[in-house]
A = this chain, B = another copy of it.
Amino acid sequence: MFVIITYDVNEKRVGKVCKKLREHLTWTQNSVFEGEITKGQFLKCRQQVEKIINPEEDSIYYYIVENPKNIKKEFKGTEKGDFDIFF
């Protein structure tokens, strides 16, 4: 499946959330991760992230497309991705 995860998490917890999502998915920009993932991995990732967040303050959206062929990604502008974070 292909998933897009967007989050709005308090800065106290955002580092941990990012680190966990990065284990499973690719960071694209701001608070957005995406990628192909198995259902099992996704459930594991989700469970781990939801242990970190405070559901009374934070929010996470999951957009799930079972067949990756059914989603098309397009882009305009300057590419950032993981590169900018680390270098």
A: residues with CB less than 8 A from B are 4, 6-8, 28-32, 34, 46, 50, 53, 55-67, 70-80
Complex interface: chain B residues within 8 A of A72 (CB): 63-66
A29/B61 in contact, CB under 8 A: yes
A77/B65 in contact, CB under 8 A: no
Q: By DSSP majority rule, is chain A's interface helix, strand, loop, or mixed?
A: strand
Report the Cα distance A80→B8, complex, angstroms. Answer: 10
B58/A30 in contact, CB under 8 A: no
Nearest residue, chain B, Cβ from A6? B32
Complex interface: chain B residues within 8 A of A62 (CB): 73-76
Contact of A55 among B65, B73, B76 (CB under 8 A): B76
